Chain A
């Protein structure tokens, strides 16, 4: 992927960091282990897996694992950039619309002759980035709160997407592109999951190994302090939303590839599911704390929950109720652990 091109280990004007390697050592991590925040999501995931494995025969099967990998991969992609937006103390409400618009653009381009998976991937990244740039400029330079800015573009981008679709569904049959999502380069893992993992590494690297990443966390912690340290926060904020646009665009592409079609409801569940995954993982909406690692957990919990409920035959509306309860419980726990942090 193109974004990986920016990752050569040797840097132009700086010797590579000394031996420290992964410099947030496990010791430091576990030394500050917060039971509620760090252990609970993992325990919840394990409990869900065990529960469904016992209750539903089909759950513990290779076929179902493949299915889960694809679903989780796409949701993870959509949540990656959004996680950093939330870490920075903002929110991107337009991720679903970005997925829809990107999916629509990609589907119509495929039908007008763009057949190469790589080209399509690049197009999705470009479209996502461009849309994210609009979000970012309105947010950072227009000084519109992200909630309002992306609420506006949520509607704007969805409208443009629907215009591209002319209100109906665009189907395509290009198998190479469908394989971007549902092919299995590694048996029993859908390619969507592999792409999501690659993107996870890139975003993790950006968040934890670049100046940009530290600024993201710092802006979420206290923007005034960052400004007084001489940092141009507007640029950081634009970049955050560009990143969110890229991952949402990729999610839109993979959803389209998975379905072999782009329709008016494409990506309609992405916004709520991605925020849910981020919150369940333990990233605080107040900003400054959390990260994409936690979001992986949140995505897995959400995907396993919904897949498992399907397997045991729970009705759609029951699932919706349970999902809502899980989000609320997770938010209560995240707030509780936050408070502890502050009081301490």
Chain B
């Protein structure tokens, strides 16, 4: 035996992720992030959409492999290859939507995937043992009023939530994990406030018996429940600090803030808007989708109006109603003084264009070529005869080529499939599809999501140019600096109501903090100016 004294170890986190890198094709989703959780600690993980929160949870829980970096549990390197693999190590996850199978009875959901631990002597599934174990588990987790034999679909959302969490503790016990690591991925997004309270109670109960990572968009609940907060931004960890002593607006700034170069948003070419012009777009008392309750707004030709609001505030629905993607339950939308009703096709014909968020799901057909995507919205008038629909292939190609060149889309040619493009270039194709229609009103929802800086500036240039040509732009964005920088005015939607319209002239842009204060419900309205 040698007598070498080891230096005292620093207090070790239970879970440690350091310098984790993950790339999807050309897209670096994680550029070396850090995340640590101590025993009995609740760590909040926040960041914008696309910041990499879900990716790191996927990596830690074995759903995705990582490219490089260190992932350790209790000081030992781990690389779980599947979710079950992670479970065996003691890592559990509560997924974004309650991951329960409605058609199965409750007890089968509790230990779903681990049925092989409940075998009869003949090798069949031992329903009785499974039911008993599930009953015990729910009892221990204080889930009340749930019949373990009932179909899971009959449970209330709150009961499902409790079940989802009880499942984690039950599984941990079954696998003889004493102190699990539990990952929550935005578990409250689908819940109303009552169930949210219920969930937060459950979360508090976990504190002390588990190490918890809690991802949420809702900053108040993050502040209320966590000990420490880690902030991700564009695939990097930008902050890690104790919850005590921080507040919502600081967190918000950390999530979205970036050092702004001068005229990054092309403020110097922002058009001055005269109110003498007849409004191009009028929105009168619209409501819809059960979220938006009342919004009234007028937009002048060539004006850019940003819609600000927290997730679920209704700002996105307002954009969708203007675009025709969602039917309003009240109120009306007028373009150039004429009311627009009916299908989204009628809105397109009335001169409205809509660049939806999530371009690969809603904006572009990724298996199709650039030219086919660009012409898709204009075949009823520009590129085909009205009745028979003979297709002016040559004209469509010419226009596509012109836009690809004008917008600087980097591609092998207009026949290249959209799936071969980078995010920024794909976004330009999506915008080109609508610009060629020379729309009167252009609605853009998150136009720079997943778009790198260079392409962003290209898109900003483009929007300024489009506005200068007289198109009115409605911009929905979670990126506050962008919203403020680009807009002539910012409309704030809070809890379904358009509560304020803030002027944003180039030389006097409103402060982010003030806008955040308006966005968060319950704060008193600061006096506002309207244009």
Which chain A residues have a beta carbon within 8 Å of chain B's beta carbons?
A: 6, 11-14, 17-21, 23-24, 28, 31-32, 208-215, 217-218, 221-222, 224-232, 288-289, 341-344
Contact = CB atoms under 8 A, between A and B. Distances in A.
B361 A28 contact: no
Given A6-B388, A211-B389, A344-B419, A18 B365 contact: no
Contact of A28 (B363, B366, B388, B413): B413
Given A211-B379, A230-B344, A31 B393 contact: no
A229 B377 contact: yes
Interface in B355-378: 356, 361-368, 372, 375-377
Given A214-B375, A232-B345, A341-B367, 10 more contacts: A28-B415, A31-B413, A208-B393, A210-B390, A211-B384, A224-B361, A230-B349, A230-B380, A231-B380, A288-B367
Nearest to A19: B394
Contacts of B325: 228
Contact of B363 (A13, A23, A228): A228
Listed residue (A14, A211, A343) with the most chain B CB atoms within 10 angstroms of its CB: A211
A232 B94 CA distance: 39
B246 interface: no
A224 B365 CA distance: 9
Given A17-B395, A289-B367, A210 B415 contact: no
A218 B376 contact: yes
A23 B390 CA distance: 14
A225 B384 contact: no
Nearest 3 A/B pairs, CB to CB: A20-B394, A230-B348, A221-B365
A221 B415 contact: no
A23 B384 contact: no
B389 A212 contact: yes
Given A226-B376, A232-B345, A288-B367, A17 B25 contact: no
B249 interface: no
Given A217-B372, A225-B363, A341 B419 contact: yes
A18 B364 CA distance: 27
Contacts of B397: 20, 23
Contact of A224 (B348, B362, B433): B362
A230 B343 contact: yes
**Interface size class, chain B:** 35 or more
A230 B377 contact: yes
A232 B343 contact: yes
Interface of B: 25, 324-325, 343-349, 354, 356, 361-368, 372, 375-377, 379-380, 383-395, 397-398, 412-413, 415-417, 419-420, 433
A13 B393 contact: no
Contacts of B367: 221-222, 288-289, 341-342
B25 A229 contact: no
Nearest to A221: B365
A228 B385 contact: no
A178 to B, nearest CB: 35
A215 B420 CA distance: 21
A225 B348 contact: no
Contacts of A28: 413, 415
A214 B379 contact: yes
A289 B420 CA distance: 15
B386 A13 contact: yes
B413 A214 contact: no
A19 B392 CA distance: 11
A230 B363 contact: no
Contacts of B368: 217-218, 221, 288
B344 A14 contact: no
Contacts of A17: 391-395
Contacts of B415: 24, 28, 31-32
Given A13-B385, A222-B366, A344 B413 contact: no
A210 B387 CA distance: 11
Contacts of A6: 388
A229 B368 CA distance: 15
